[in-house]
Structure 1
Amino acid sequence: MNNKAELVFIPAPGVGHLGSTVELAKLLLHRHQRISITVLVMKLPFDSKVNTYLNSLSAGDRISFLHLPNDDLQGFNPKKLFPSFIECHKTLVKEAVSKLVHSESVSDDPPRLAGFVLDLFCTSMIDVADEFGVPSYIFFTSSAGYLGLMLHAQALYDEQNKHIIELKDSDSELEVPSLVNPIPARVLPSVYLEKDWSMIGFQLARSFRRVKGIVVNSFMELESYTIKSFSNGETNIPPVYPVGPVLNLEGNSIDLGSGGSKTKTEIMDWLDDQPPSSVVFLCFGSMGSFDEDQVKEIACALEQSGQRFLWSLRQRRPKGQSGAPRDYTNLTDVLPEGFLDRTVGIGKVMGWAPQVSILAHKAIGGFVSHCGWNSILESIWFEVPMATWPIYAEQQFNAFEMVIELGVAVEIKMDYRKEFSGENQMIVRSREIEKGIKKLMEDENAIRKRVKEISEKSKKAMMEGGSSFTLLGCFIDDVMSNLS
């Protein structure tokens, strides 16, 4: 009997989602010789990074990338209509998979289609998998805690007619079965405090309950309470497989910014000259940027703290322009007068930052982060304690989880939020920032100790016999059982 399995991976558009998907695919291919993978790539009209990233990969013989055409979608605004952007690709996915199945059927020892692995935003493709008579799995690229919140919010709405939007702007807290502590309404993700987006969130969570399994980019030792909660009590949650941390540790190939390798060499040379664990690194993700008033408060805090620092500072796109922030052409335009001269010995300000290489450097002693999930996992992997400064998406929730639930971060802010529109901005004052940085950089604090311990566990989890290694094996067994 033929026991070669073909999996179809469908990541959400955008290089961040694609990067995590490719890393999961590599793990599966490494573990099982009879699995092959086809990644269907949906491309946003303005995203040039995807091609750069795909070109940087060395194509393996059991992984292939298929670009779905996007000619009909040129005028489409995916931010406003993200779910319909995915929905538009259903026919294209169906055609691509039909061709795939047909071309394989004419080869000598063809693999059989064993399932679809879908990004958490791509649940509408479950219908396509159903048409081919194969199961779907979700690859959940955020925390198990956030998965728990999504499922709970949807159950409240569907079964008790309660909408968490009612908690907006209140001081109340929400009890969530997958969390130890009640979560304050002020750190709930923005999507749940807005009617249209929350409906999309509920629809996604309903779909999660339809799949055969959910693969989560986390690990048992980090989120044990949450992960155990999925299997004790609430019905109709599929098996959850924490197989992380799934990291792209050569991640700097994704976005070489404007300076590319020259910038990277300059940064690494500067870090080589700093004492071990002495530098605080500030970086706010590919979409993180601040207005001038906030930039000045950060600069003032750094100067007052007397701390060595490396600061990735990006400029917002002008209003009405989409796309990621860009590097400043002249940093003196935005920083306080004389700041660069006064901090020349102890600090460095740059645009784009090769985050993985920086976190891996022995000179880094703390990370002021926007709390994107990948950044959190990288920080833990490299034993770098964090200070939280979330900006958008589910980052406020992540900050709460890191500070309150798991004790691996200090708080600068947990409830800061700035949506892509740039509205509802608060200014975090320099005193508050300075206090957080000083606490973060203390030599011996409980958080530093805890991060070291969790970091060691994250590496063990991925080794043979570790929790993530074992659960990836369970997931593979489940996939292979679809062929029998």
Structure 2
Amino acid sequence: MVPFPDFSHLNQLFVLARFIASHNIRVHFICLADWNQDLKLRIQGGLCASNIHFHDLLVPSSLDAGNGLPSIAILIRKLVEPIRRTCIDISTNAKRLVIIHDSIMRDHVRDVHSLIPNVESYMFHAISAFARYSRLRQSIDHLVDDDDDDHEKMIKQMHDDFPLLESCSGPYAAALVRKQHEWKLNSGEIMNSCREVESKYLDLLAHTKDKQYWAVGPFHMLLESRDSSNMTKHECLEFLDKQDVNSVIFVSFGTTTTLTQEQVNELALGLEQSNHNFIWVLRRADKKMETEKLEENDEKIELPKGFEERVEGRGLVVKNWAPQLEILGHTSTGGFLSHCGWNSCLESISMGVPIVAWPINYDQPFNAVFITKLLKIATSVRSWARREELVTASTIEKAVNKVDGNDRRDRNEAKGSRVEQ
């Protein structure tokens, strides 16, 4: 396994690694040392622990290239040779080597195909099939036998509201994505998805790329539920236990987003004015990459004065990790105000919880289109064309209140039941 060293990416591959290891297959997980240390703690005493072998990569001492590239771009480049050497070392004791690598890490396994005779590789995508297909359409002038007129019609109807690669990512990330379709060495591609949700776009991808696509998700359903009988219940779950059915809005923007202070103030006021019960996970973007250390002089995000006192009893603010899957699966949770990361979308779909879509960047705007326009299980906070504008408290209040009194919950519950089957 060769993951991209970001939590939302590597966590999905690690779940797949644990699932494979549970079938008594040896798995080698190649990642940054600090990430590996955290992952080891998660499987201590587990049945698959002995079948997962971690290979630690060290962060290069200098990530300053002096050419304007972001530090993560330099890190990715400097990991190519260590990963190549590790794959070669592993192959010397293996009759057959199968490499599953994140789509961003394709250059790291490019050379092994010519150096290792017993190897095959599969590209893993941490995004939806819809996002993958939409990006391909923007990267290739003419798709082979493209018969998806409905997709083109939707794009024309949405005009500026349909996301473009450059509007979702910086120039470096957009260039990486545009090059993915050129990759020819892999034997197939793996998606964290399922046919019950994305059959149309999985078929379009397979036809367009002339590759086999395996939809093996949702990944959170691959592993057996943890035995929580001896675990201390998280404060979020204790809070939910005291609320009515479908009465709580869960608010979370994932691990890579930090809202501005001004936006935090508007979100707080919007939640307060909505009169909804809520759980709000308010945290800074994850700095585990080690290329973006959180300095002491970094501005702290503060809640409006007196906010927590005014919402006491109906609102809970969590400033660290929260058990998202358990929260979404609780009967008191009635909606999810989300950045629309694909993993969050899948978890919400499988739990039958309607989504209030507030995409920020990367694949999130494509996912928002998919769940609002096609699945129709979500409502939008704002149009993508207005992404640079401050989202006001009144806009947030209206979006949150749309969760009530519509049929999105019925559609999502039906979709979730099919996913579980």
User: TM-score under structure 1 normalisation?
Assistant: 0.73
1:322 counterpart letter in structure 2: E
What does residue 446 of structure 1 align with? 407
Question: How far 1:144 sits from its partner (Å)?
Answer: 0.5
Where 2:70 maps in the other structure, the secondary structure is coil
What does residue 348 of structure 1 align with? 316
Could you give the per-residue CA deviations for residues 123-161 of structure 1, whole angstroms, max 9, x where no partner exists?
1113323321322210111100121123222212999xx
**In the alignment, is residue 281 of structure 1 matched against residue 270 of structure 2?**
no
What does residue 103 of structure 2 align with? 120
**In the alignment, is residue 138 of structure 1 matched against residue 114 of structure 2?**
no
Where 1:138 maps in the other structure, the secondary structure is strand
What does residue 203 of structure 2 align with? 228
**In the alignment, is residue 57 of structure 1 matched against residue 18 of structure 2?**
no
Gaps of 5+ in 1: 1-8, 105-110, 160-174, 254-260, 419-424, 461-484
Q: Number of residues paired by the alignment?
A: 398
What does residue 76 of structure 1 align with? 63
With over 3 angstroms needed to count, the CA separation of the structure-2 counterparts of 1:417 and 1:100, relative to structure 1, is: farther
**In the alignment, is residue 38 of structure 1 matched against residue 43 of structure 2?**
no
What does residue 140 of structure 2 align with? 155
- RMSD across aligned C-alpha pairs, in angstroms? 3.5
With over 3 angstroms needed to count, the CA separation of the structure-2 counterparts of 1:307 and 1:395, relative to structure 1, is: same
With over 3 angstroms needed to count, the CA separation of the structure-2 counterparts of 1:181 and 1:238, relative to structure 1, is: same
Question: How far 1:56 sits from its partner (Å)?
Answer: 2.0
1:279 counterpart letter in structure 2: V
What does residue 292 of structure 2 align with? 322
Distance in 1 (CA, whole Å) between partners of 2:264 and 2:327 is 21
With over 3 angstroms needed to count, the CA separation of the structure-2 counterparts of 1:221 and 1:283, relative to structure 1, is: same
1:154 counterpart letter in structure 2: S
**In the alignment, is residue 206 of structure 1 matched against residue 191 of structure 2?**
no
Where 1:247 maps in the other structure, the secondary structure is helix
What does residue 90 of structure 2 align with? 100
Choose from 343, 346, 349 the match for 1:380. 349
1:430 counterpart letter in structure 2: A
Question: How far 1:371 sits from its partner (Å)?
Answer: 0.6
Distance in 2 (CA, whole Å) between partners of 1:429 and 1:454 is 32
Could you give the per-residue CA deviations for residues 347-376 of structure 1, whole angstroms, max 9, x where no partner exists?
222212222222122211100001111111
With over 3 angstroms needed to count, the CA separation of the structure-2 counterparts of 1:396 and 1:329, relative to structure 1, is: closer
Equivalent residues of 1:315, 1:325 under 8 A apart:
no
With over 3 angstroms needed to count, the CA separation of the structure-2 counterparts of 1:119 and 1:388, relative to structure 1, is: same
Distance in 2 (CA, whole Å) between partners of 1:141 and 1:362 is 28
Distance in 2 (CA, whole Å) between partners of 1:201 and 1:329 is 32
Could you give the per-residue CA deviations for residues 385-407 of structure 1, whole angstroms, max 9, x where no partner exists?
11001112221111111111221
1:60 counterpart letter in structure 2: A
Distance in 2 (CA, whole Å) between partners of 1:115 and 1:452 is 37
What does residue 360 of structure 2 align with? 391
Choose from 11, 15, 18 the match for 1:19. 11
Distance in 1 (CA, whole Å) between partners of 2:28 and 2:385 is 39
Equivalent residues of 1:396, 1:414 under 8 A apart:
no
Question: How far 1:252 sits from its partner (Å)?
Answer: 12
What does residue 311 of structure 1 align with? 280
Question: How far 1:192 sits from its partner (Å)?
Answer: 6.5
Equivalent residues of 1:152, 1:176 under 8 A apart:
no
Distance in 1 (CA, whole Å) between partners of 2:98 and 2:174 is 28
Gaps of 5+ in 2: none
User: TM-score under structure 2 normalisation?
Assistant: 0.83
With over 3 angstroms needed to count, the CA separation of the structure-2 counterparts of 1:152 and 1:81, relative to structure 1, is: farther
Distance in 2 (CA, whole Å) between partners of 1:142 and 1:436 is 25
Distance in 1 (CA, whole Å) between partners of 2:128 and 2:54 is 26
1:127 counterpart letter in structure 2: D
What does residue 465 of structure 1 align with? none
With over 3 angstroms needed to count, the CA separation of the structure-2 counterparts of 1:249 and 1:101, relative to structure 1, is: closer
Question: How far 1:176 sits from its partner (Å)?
Answer: 8.2
What does residue 436 of structure 1 align with? 399
What does residue 86 of structure 1 align with? 76
With over 3 angstroms needed to count, the CA separation of the structure-2 counterparts of 1:306 and 1:269, relative to structure 1, is: same
Where 2:197 maps in the other structure, the secondary structure is coil
**In the alignment, is residue 67 of structure 1 matched against residue 67 of structure 2?**
no
Equivalent residues of 1:120, 1:204 under 8 A apart:
yes
1:448 counterpart letter in structure 2: R
Could you give the per-residue CA deviations for residues 268-296 of structure 1, whole angstroms, max 9, x where no partner exists?
22211111111011111112222222222
Distance in 1 (CA, whole Å) between partners of 2:390 and 2:29 is 42
Question: How far 1:414 sits from its partner (Å)?
Answer: 4.5
Distance in 2 (CA, whole Å) between partners of 1:193 and 1:65 is 31
Between stretches 51-60 and 404-413, larger displacement belongs to 51-60
